[in-house]
Amino acid sequence: MAAHTSPGIDQHPDIMALRAHSERATSTPAAQAVEGLALLAGLYLAISPWIVGFSGLTTLTVNNLIAGLAFTVLTMGFVNSAYERTHGMSWAALGIGIWAIIAPWVVSGSVDTTRTIWSNCVVGGVMVLLSLATGAMVARAARRP
């Protein structure tokens, strides 16, 4: 009896279409710019306590470090070859951006410095906008034939 071989899952038409969709979504200069800015925003949030000078607020410092690194890891997933598996996580990145905005009040209770609020609100707003842009690019690419 002859063994029946079939092509691997990576040759499945749906997988190939998903890869083509991912390539279309990430190949434009606008998509690459959004992804690069998102990576920088996540890194900034992670190191902002030391840049802005609020590392004395321990809970907010740890919060920003973890949230910034999480956003950066998500962004790296958008950029690299794992895009087809991670683009749906742009909503998680959106949540991290919103959290960055409200964290100074929620985590610290009372915020000691205006620069803490400005730093988190500005970078959180940028993260929200970049996350929405990533989601919009995916939706736009999905509508293209």
Residues 130 and 37: beta-carbon distance below 8 Å: yes
Query: What are the tens digits of pLDDT across the range 38-91?
Result: 999 999 999 999 999 887 788 999 999 999 999 998 887 765 545 555 556 778
| pTM flag (> 0.85) | no
Of residues 138 and 122, the one with the higher pLDDT is 122
Lookup result for tokens 């710019």: 33
Query: What are the tens digits of pLDDT across the range 77-120?
Result: 765 545 555 556 778 889 999 999 999 888 876 666 788 889 99
Q: pLDDT-based confidence at 19, cuts 50/70/90?
A: low
